[in-house]
Amino acid sequence: MQSYGFVGTGELTAAIVEGLSSDVSDPPAVFLSPRNRDLAHDLAARFPNAEVCHDNQQVLDRADVVVIAVRPQIVQDVLAELTFRPEHVVVSAVAATSLAQLHEWAAPARRVVRSIPLPTASRRASRTAVFPDDPDARALFESVGDVVVPEDETALATFSAATATFSAHLAQLAAIANWMADNGVSQADAYVAHVYGELGRTLADHDGTLGELARKHETPGGINEQFRTASQDDDRIRRGLDDVLTRVKGQ
């Protein structure tokens, strides 16, 4: 069984480690960066297969597959301080950082993969975009959900841009809950979370287009149509995504 090392210990690392370790009879060895010591030590306390290393180099020395999960602004400096082995599998979860850059900074490691894991890895429900396809990266992310392989690195950037919409959607739900609370509802957050949580289940089970699903949730002249018409701005959404895509492509 491969061992996994994580350079960078943030919420995304925590989600993957939890998915790899929680309620698993024979979990893999996990080696954690000491960065964000509270979170790293909490993971090690919860999961016996997880260990906090003295530094990032020790993570590399002990792991077969190395997951890089640091901010794009510091990734070059972090990797410059590390010595990789040729046989390392380097899996980057860093946005806006190309394969060419990663190969240069992680040399002499020969196998470098970009990935977009999701926070739902914690409950083994991430659909992780991976490019290029790699058996060890696939094994890692199939342990915490499933894997999709885009056609090329440009398509991977489009997946990355799409994930930039998460906080906007959650903020809209917060606005709905706040409006309910302003109108005297005491359990607004719980109600909205339940309604949209169940809608998520409908999404997961739907095998048609999202446009078809939207139409199923409204009737001509009804209140769903009224609110969609008042609030929908496809052009603004597309412009925002275009701007994010330009950023993650490094243009």
Q: Where are the domains of the chain?
A: 4-151, 166-248
- Give the number of other CB atoms < 10 A from CB of residue 218: 15
Residue 100 is predicted with a pLDDT of 96
- Give the number of other CB atoms < 10 A from CB of residue 100: 10
Residue 205 is predicted with a pLDDT of 92
Q: For 99-111, write each residue's pLDDT tens digit.
A: 999 999 999 999 9
Is the bond preceding 108 in cis, omega lying within 30 degrees of 0? yes
Contact between 34 and 8 under an 8 Å Cβ cutoff? The reply is: no
In terms of phi and psi (left: phi > 0; alpha: psi -120 to 50; beta: otherwise), the region of 62 is: alpha
Which superfamily is assigned to 4-151 in CATH? Answer: NAD(P)-binding Rossmann-like Domain (3.40.50.720)
pLDDT at residue 244 greater than cutoff 90: yes
Give me the mean pLDDT over the 168-190 stretch.
98
Length of the chain: 251
Is the bond preceding 132 in cis, omega lying within 30 degrees of 0? yes
Give me the mean pLDDT over the 175-203 stretch.
97
pLDDT at residue 180 greater than cutoff 90: yes
Residue 37 is predicted with a pLDDT of 86
Give me the mean pLDDT over the 76-85 stretch.
98
For the whole model, what pTM was predicted? 0.92
Query: How many angstroms separate the CA atoms of 115 and 138, rounded?
Result: 10
What percent of the chain is modeled with pLDDT above 90? Answer: 97
Residue 251 is predicted with a pLDDT of 54
Residue 1 is predicted with a pLDDT of 87
The pairs formed by 126-130 with CB atoms below 8 angstroms and a separation of 24 or more are: 126/15, 126/19, 129/156, 129/159, 129/160
